[in-house]
A and B are shown apart, each in its own frame.
Chain A
Amino acid sequence: KQEVTQIPAALSVPEGENLVLNCSFTDSAIYNLQWFRQDPGKGLTSLLLIQSSQREQTSGRLNASLDKSSGRSTLYIAASQPGDSATYLCAVKGGANNLFFGTGTRLTVIP
């Protein structure tokens, strides 16, 4: 059964710093991996989707990488801003149609 782990569980950084969030998964037979953002009391906003054949995806200040063979992904956030404060979730999609989620990294960017 697929298990997804995110480290660290919480992270605080001063505004302007670059940071990396980590995600690992146990079964490398995946279709794709998605990074989401969740604000308190809100739904999930999709940030980046990496297909299994891809190595990375970029959107603005965000860059996500995927190393399928080692079961790892990272989300890099450049020049962090207070508005980036949220919980970041990693989810993988395998042969079944559902997503397997990690428990998230709660990011606080301090002005």
Chain B
Amino acid sequence: NAGVMQNPRHLVRRRGQEARLRCSPMKGHSHVYWYRQLPEEGLKFMVYLQKENIIDESGMPKERFSAEFPKEGPSILRIQQVVRGDSAAYFCASSPPGQGRQPQHFGDGTRLSIL
């Protein structure tokens, strides 16, 4: 039973380009969460999605960032017009259905570097 799969593991972009990060949840998991870990800081929640729905995006920056979890395929975190401050590790987690008490399982993350 494969775990949460994130790709790419490392992504390098120049300022102004777009970054697309992908996350495939564990089999049977319909809830996906994105977190960001800035250098020397803790993980911060960005967005929580279920299939075709954004449930909570209270942690997402208001501009340039968007997320989706389509009916088919992985969840995508998209960052437009990247800036140096977007350099971070982006982690995806998934959990099965079930309110509140289910553990979240994390992928290995995507390390985004902005030149």
Interface string of B45-73 (1 = CB under 8 A from A): 10010000001101100000000000000
User: Does A61 make an interface contact (CB < 8 A)?
Assistant: no
Mark A30-49 against chain B: 1 for CB-CB distance below 8 A, else 0: 01101010000111111001
What 0/1 readout, one digit per residue, does chain A (79-111) give for beta carbons within 8 Å of chain B?
000000000010101011111111110000000
Most chain A beta-carbon contacts within 10 A, residue among B6, B35, B42, B55: B42
Task: Indicate whether B105 reaches chain A with its CB closer than 8 angstroms.
Answer: yes
Q: How many A-B residue pairs have CB under 8 A?
A: 65
| Chain B 56-115 interface residues, beta-carbon cutoff 8 Å to A | 56, 58-59, 91, 93, 100-101, 103-109, 111
Complex contact B100–A102 (CB within 8 A): no
Among residues of B, the one whose C-beta sits closest to the C-beta of A100 is B45
Interface residues on A, range: 20 to 34
- Contact status of A44 and B41, CB under 8 A, knowing A96-B56, A97-B48, A98-B33: no
- The chain A residue with its CB closest to the CB of B109 is A43
A93-B35 Cα distance, complex, nearest whole Å:
14
Query: Which residues of chain A come closer than 8 Å to B42, judged between CB atoms?
Result: 4, 89, 101-104
Cβ of B4: which chain A residues have Cβ within 8 Å of it? 43
In the complex, the chain A residue whose C-beta lies closest to that of B40 is A103
Are A98 and B59 neighbours in the complex by a CB distance under 8 Å? yes
The answer to whether A51 has its CB under 8 Å from any CB of chain B is: yes
What separation, in Å, do the CA atoms of A36 and B37 have in the docked complex?
14
CB atoms of B100 and A31 under 8 A apart:
yes
Would you give the shortest CB distance from A6 to chain B, in whole angstroms? 9
Residue-by-residue, is B5-29 near A (CB-CB < 8 Å gives 1, otherwise 0)? 0100000000000000000000000
The smallest C-beta distance from A34 to any residue of chain B, in angstroms, reads: 6
Interface residues of A in 5-63 (CB under 8 A from B): 31-32, 34, 36, 41-46, 49, 51
